[in-house]
Structure 1
């Protein structure tokens, strides 16, 4: 997965890959174990004190970027610029769904990752649907197109990631034939508040 969503800066420390991308996306700003560690908590502490037209493009179009960032982006122009660099860091197919008026209403990304000793895998990313177009099977259509596009390239092994709280996406992925292979968790240091300021929730 690292090859398909590459961080802008990375380094290896012992059995860990350290990744940084200006705080844009958790995946590109995370620590990746290069082997399954014994005692994960201790190791982490040591490592870090329909009616829709779908087009396919090698690079994200302005319409694709605008919709994906509106649905799933976090930050302003600087963060979006970093996200664009991440998207262009691996060979990929970008699907954009347009409604009958020509408005972009859905996005998806199939990224190629050639893993030494394993072969070519495809990763599904950036699935986003405009709020006005949800509950209409849009995501299923986009996913189906991306899976088919990958097969046309001879890649049949796929992965995707979804949050545990996103039950609808999990149902969609199950219908598409995906099964759970593992789980990950982002650990974050407690928020530090500058002196003189009061933290409120």
Structure 2
């Protein structure tokens, strides 16, 4: 990371740069061996009373005393993407939301409050895609009450790491006592290479609803209630895939879900029974769903994977998926 001009470190940011992506270097500690420095890259979300707040793409704001700065500069708003279809944050935020239709929703300005009996945070969180129409503290108070009335914890879903994302909202939530609980990556890829993967797609059964056998393999719930099937079956064009197990098996060996929405095909709920893993069944399910999505005119793929799921990330990297942005769920503490 280069800050020098003519051999000197310079702080070339100011309070007027709030909202821009910056790179800063600060003194982390000053010991007997000399000062140690720490670098931070993220959106400058505030600069008040001699303290900066910088929010990196992981969503956790870093507070930096102005007196500790030794260098700083504005950097491009987002790094150049190297692969995958072109997509804005706003487009993907709406597409991914339509794949998890809530049982109940209510607008709050340009925010959408969503509830589905607690099944998945995505269908039980606020989707903030603009101004709530009231001051933030008022909006958050209404959010807490709305979810409390339904016996649910209050969550706000935010995104970081892409142009037009919500680093400033993340910092504001932290200032109001909300904390990040879960982070996942939204990844995108061209769809055709997934459909072309070598796989025995003839083994895959496709259907329009999550039947009892499919739900028997789905690990997210025990006994599924009506809100589960409502969310899973909701979306623009939903497909369920299953690979039968051995004779006598009640649940499939592998399953998957795909939601086709215009040019996008979203993949989720790809699961393989432990005794059938390492046989390429996840690839088989993905390939079959991709071919069905292409038949409906889709050309791009997306999926969401939690950051600590290294096995899934490795699988999807091999299919050509690249990270587009991160999304987080914040909860009041």
Same fold, judged at TM 0.5 (above): yes
Uncovered stretches (5+) of structure 1, i.e. residues with no partner: 114-118, 191-201
Residue 247 (structure 2) aligns with: 101
Query: 1: CA distance between counterparts of 2:206 and 2:175?
Result: 43
Residue 80 (structure 1) aligns with: 225
Q: Bigger CA drift: 119-128 or 44-53? A: 44-53
TM-score, normalised via structure 2 length: 0.49
Q: Is the 8 A contact 2:112 2:126 kept in 1?
A: yes
TM-score, normalised via structure 1 length: 0.79
Match of 1:28 among 104, 117, 123: 123
Structure 1 consecutive aligned stretches of length 4 or more whose deviation exceeds 4 Å: 45-52
Aligned-pair RMSD on alpha carbons? 2.5
How far 1:176 sits from its partner (Å)? 1.4
Query: 2: CA distance between counterparts of 1:7 and 1:48?
Result: 26
- Which has the higher Rg, Structure 1 or Structure 2? 2
Residue 9 (structure 1) aligns with: 104
1:36-185 aligned within 5 A: 36-37=165-166, 39-44=168-173, 53-68=203-218, 71-73=219-221, 76-77=222-223, 80-90=225-235, 91-101=237-247, 103=249, 104-113=252-261, 119-185=262-328
CA-to-aligned-CA distance 1:21-55 (integer Å, 9 cap, x gap): 11111110112121444612354469998788210
Structure having the larger proportion of residues in helix: 1
Query: 2: CA distance between counterparts of 1:136 and 1:11?
Result: 44
SS of aligned partner of 1:26: coil
Q: Is the 8 A contact 2:209 2:239 kept in 1?
A: yes
Structure having the larger proportion of residues in strand: 2
SS of aligned partner of 1:99: coil
Uncovered stretches (5+) of structure 2, i.e. residues with no partner: 1-95, 131-164, 179-198
Q: Is the 8 A contact 1:124 1:160 kept in 2?
A: yes
